[in-house]
Amino acid sequence: MTFVDASLPLQKAILAALKADATLQALVGGKIYDTVPPSAEMPYVSFGTFDVQTEDADEYEGSDSFIQIDAWSGGESVVGSVEAKKIGRAIRGALHHANLSLDEDQRLVDLTVDAVRYLRELDGITQHVAITLRARTEPVI
């Protein structure tokens, strides 16, 4: 059986989809990070955890990946959670059931947004959007 961890091809495809989405770009101005720089200004989007679970089939092993995408908003010029909710909606719109092309001999079977959570951080100002994606992938045979 062949198993290739699809987390890197997924991250590259998700990053490309988010950067290509005009609505999201208008909100975050291209600030989409794998590792957030210390000087990053809100709002921005960052990659969170990736959990990859193997899915056995007759001739290969596919996988289900659970991916967290985080968005951060805040500051005195932001009215409540309005900006965060706009960003969350844009990310969901860009990714839910998106038909993304993967490299490394992987194929995306399905991509869904399982949950969008809007959180207020302890400082009372920063808004955090935690989006959980589920991606089913399989190797291209």
pLDDT tens for each residue of 109-127: 999 999 999 998 888 889 9
Q: Is residue 140 part of a domain?
A: no
pLDDT for residue 39 is more than 60: yes
pLDDT for residue 61 is more than 90: no
Average pLDDT value for residue range 57-78: 82
Element counts in the chain: helices (H) and strands (E): 3, 5
Q: Give the pLDDT of residue 5.
A: 81
* Residue 94 tokens, joined: 């860009």
Q: How many CA atoms lie within 13 A of 50 on its CB side?
A: 17
CATH code of 98's domain:
3.30.2000
pTM (2 d.p.): 0.90
Q: How confident is the model at residue 80 (pLDDT cuts 50, 70, 90)?
A: low
- The boundaries of the domain holding residue 95 are 7-34+43-129
Tally of domains in the chain: 1
Provide, rounded to the nearest whole percent, the portion of the chain with pLDDT above 90: 71
pLDDT for residue 75 is more than 70: no
pLDDT for residue 1 is more than 80: no
